[in-house]
Amino acid sequence: MKYFAPVMFAIVTLVFSSCGSSKELTAEVESTRSSLQQCQDELATAQMNLSAATQELDQAKNMLGGRGDQMTQIQNENRALRDQLTQTQAQLATVTQQMQASSDSYGTWYRVQIGAFEQRRVDNSLETTDKLSLETQNDLQKTALGRFRNYDDAKKLQDHLKSIGLKDAWIVTYKDGVRVPIESVKGK
């Protein structure tokens, strides 16, 4: 209970911190942005086609009067264009999600671990963002804060946590989403 206030303060402090980026992450983001731009272009084209089809439908209604067959055909084309628009929007959402997922786990990043607990575990439902991580390994629940692209930012958080009373805070390293010894990436 004596660590509750410092831990909560550290979590709130961490929410306002940000991560740097690596060259590999930048390249991956640029590639995904290109895919995103392509989907946006397809979406714009589909919207223009839908607008044109709607105008044609309005013209057809005026010209046809009682010709229901041609109007039905145009309505079907309009429906097909709407379906194409919906499909393109779904593709855009997928690319956006992939962009976020790939950029989050790629490369080297650091966290500040504040404990490894066998008992008195934190409820896993509290792990809602990258700011608080709860890993279970060898019957220990490891609690870590932050997600930093460079060691110095993680070190700043570690120093801050120690200054507010969490003397056992230490830095852990991840490479492409897998926890690795800090020595394997430090100095690279």
| pLDDT top residue among 47 and 103 | 47
**Residue in 91, 94, 111 with CA at minimum distance from that of residue 102:** 94
- Strand positions, DSSP E, 38-137: 108-117, 132-137
User: What confidence tens digit (pLDDT) does each residue in 104-123 have?
Assistant: 667 888 988 888 877 766 66
pLDDT at 159: 95
Mean pLDDT taken over the chain:
77
pLDDT (tens digit, 9 = 90+) per residue, 138-173?
888 888 888 888 899 999 999 999 999 988 899 999
Distances (CA, A) of 166 to 10, 74, 128, 152: 9, 69, 22, 18
Joined tokens for residue 22: 């690596």
Mean pLDDT of 78-105: 80
- CATH class of the region 4-20+107-184: alpha beta
Domain spans of the chain? Answer: 4-20+107-184, 26-104
- In this prediction, residues 125-138 reach a mean pLDDT of 72
Q: Which long-range contacts (CB under 8 A, 24 or more apart) does 86-91 make?
A: 88/39, 88/42, 88/43, 88/46, 89/43, 91/39, 91/42
d(CA 69, CA 52): 20
**At residue 186, does pLDDT exceed 80?**
no
- Here the tokens at position 60 are 């057809």
Residues 12-36 have pLDDT tens digits of 455 444 444 566 667 677 777 777 7
Q: Residue 16: its pLDDT value, please?
A: 44
